[in-house]
Structure formats: C-alpha cells, structure tokens
Amino acid sequence: MSQRWLVESDADILIFIQMLPNSSKKSILGVDKWRGRLKVSVLSPPISGKANVELLELISSWASVRMKNIVIEKGHKTRQKTIRIKNIKYEHIHQLIGE
C-alpha cells in the first residue's frame, strides 16, 4: 500500500484522491493513511460528471489555483481519482494539509 497521496511531477503535482460523493457537506477531510489518498467529500451525486466538477471547484478554492490548472488524470468514473495541478509547489499543498 502506498502512503504517497501527493507526488511531484515536473512543475506539477499529482494528488491521489478518495472521493465521497453525495455527502452532507463539501470538505477536504484529510489523508486516509490506509488508502494513501486524500479524502474529499462533495454534495453532488456521481451523475453526469456533477461530482467531478464540484471536486475540481473545491480543490481550486482550497489550493488557491485557477480551475484551468486542475485536471482529472485518472478515475473520471470511479471514486479513486488522480488530480494534476499545474504550476504549483509540493510544499504549498503539503502545508494546507498540515502534515
């Protein structure tokens, strides 16, 4: 099991996410040590990409980056996703989690 939820990739970073759609609140819940992923809950159901859009908006707001700099690399139709954030420092995201 990998414990690496945050990985540098050139000038970008990859964040491995465990998404919880249809939740009662929209939130970054912290790192799930067992899965090695950042847990994120969103209000929207996983229908027609609504939860994915809400996830990207939440990550954009949380990390203070523009939406155009965030893409889902893998997992468009699953709860386990890989998100790429372009032109951001590893340290910035790591500090937001507080590990």
Q: Can you give the pLDDT at residue 14?
A: 95
pTM as predicted:
0.90
CATH number for 6-97 (one of 3.30.470.20, 3.30.1200.10, 3.50.50.60, 3.40.50.720): it is 3.30.1200.10
Q: Which of the pair, 98 or 95, is modelled with greater confidence?
A: 95
Q: What is the mean pLDDT of the chain?
A: 91
Question: Residue 70 above 50 pLDDT?
Answer: yes
Mean pLDDT on 50-61: 96
Mean pLDDT on 76-89: 95
Cα 84 vs. chain centroid, distance in angstroms? 8
Q: Can you give the pLDDT at residue 95?
A: 86
**Residue pLDDT, tens place only, 4-52:** 899 998 889 999 999 999 999 999 999 998 889 999 999 999 999 999 9
Please answer whether residues 80 and 5 qualify as being in contact, where contact means their C-beta atoms are separated by less than 8 angstroms. no
- pLDDT tier for residue 99 given thresholds of 50, 70 and 90: low
Where in the chain does DSSP place strands (E)? 6-9, 12-20, 27-32, 37-41, 70-74, 80-85
Q: Can you give the pLDDT at residue 2?
A: 40
Neighbours of 39 (CB within 10 A): 16
Domain boundaries, the chain: 6-97
